Amino acid sequence: MKIWAALFSLALALPGGVWFLLGDSQAAGIAVSSVAELPVMSYQLDASRSKFIVHAHRGGIFWFKGHDHFIAAREFSGVAELTPDALNPASLQLTVRSASLEETSDVFTPQQKGIIKKELDEIVLESAKYPEITFQSTDVKGALKNSAFDVRIGGNISLHGVTKHIVIPATVTLEGDTIHAIGKFDLNRGDFNVKATSAFHGTVRVKGKLSFTFDIIGQRI
């Protein structure tokens, strides 16, 4: 009798109470899963501490002498989530304001940068019609290597009214309440109906491939 009394007292003290002792699998499963849940950390992306650059390879030889364009996204926001010890669950949501993209290369004068900016807004990106460029992840794969996550982020990117699935490789590190992600991926502007200016004095005369590089900082929320 003393043994049964001790077991009954122990059962009441455990998560799930006496149902755990009696073998109720549903109650036991709830108790076990609550203990096994891993914390998901959320981080607000900080554009002021980050870099997001589009490298548009030269495609013309007029006026601006066929220089490559290095176009920075000045305004973007988003949230990254991941599980520090297991990677998943993980996700990424990113929104870039189209009108915030501007030329940064030192080979262009301020006047030329102003002309490039106008063409980007009015002809290339059509910022008034398509004010946002968005990315929403659908899956995140990878592993922890040398204190950093090597990941491949699959998701849907919406650009210039077209949505396509892409995969973005990145290296992600955590330090205190800060997340740091670096990486590079390519897109073909033709896949998104993005034009290049073609008039004789057009300034954004670029090839089809656009290379995106990013160095993004996020703060835990």
Q: pTM of the entire structure?
A: 0.77
Q: Residue 20's pLDDT is what?
A: 32
pLDDT band (50, 70, 90) for residue 214: very high
Quick: pLDDT tens for 93-134: 999 999 999 999 998 899 989 988 998 899 889 999 999 999
**Range of lowest pLDDT (24-33, 97-106, 149-158, 167-176):** 24-33
pLDDT at 26 over 50: no
Say how far apart CA 94 and CA 135 lie, in whole Å. Answer: 5
Domain boundaries in the chain? Answer: 2-36, 41-220
pLDDT in tens, 54-78: 998 766 444 455 678 899 999 999 9
Per-residue pLDDT at 22: 33
CATH number of 41-220: 2.40.128.110
Least confident segment among 45-59, 67-81, 146-160, 192-206: 192-206
* Ordered DSSP codes for the chain: -HHHHHHHHHHHHSTTHHHHHHT-HHHHHHHHHHHHPPPPEEEEE-GGG-EEEEEEEE---STTTT--EEEEE--EEEEEEEETTTEEEEEEEEEEEGGGEEE--TTS-HHHHHHHHHHIIIIIS-TTTS-EEEEEEEEEEEEEETTEEEEEEEEEEEETTEEEEEEEEEEEEEETTEEEEEEEEEEEGGGGT-----STT-S--EEEEEEEEEEEEEEE-
The predicted model gives 127-154 an average pLDDT of 96
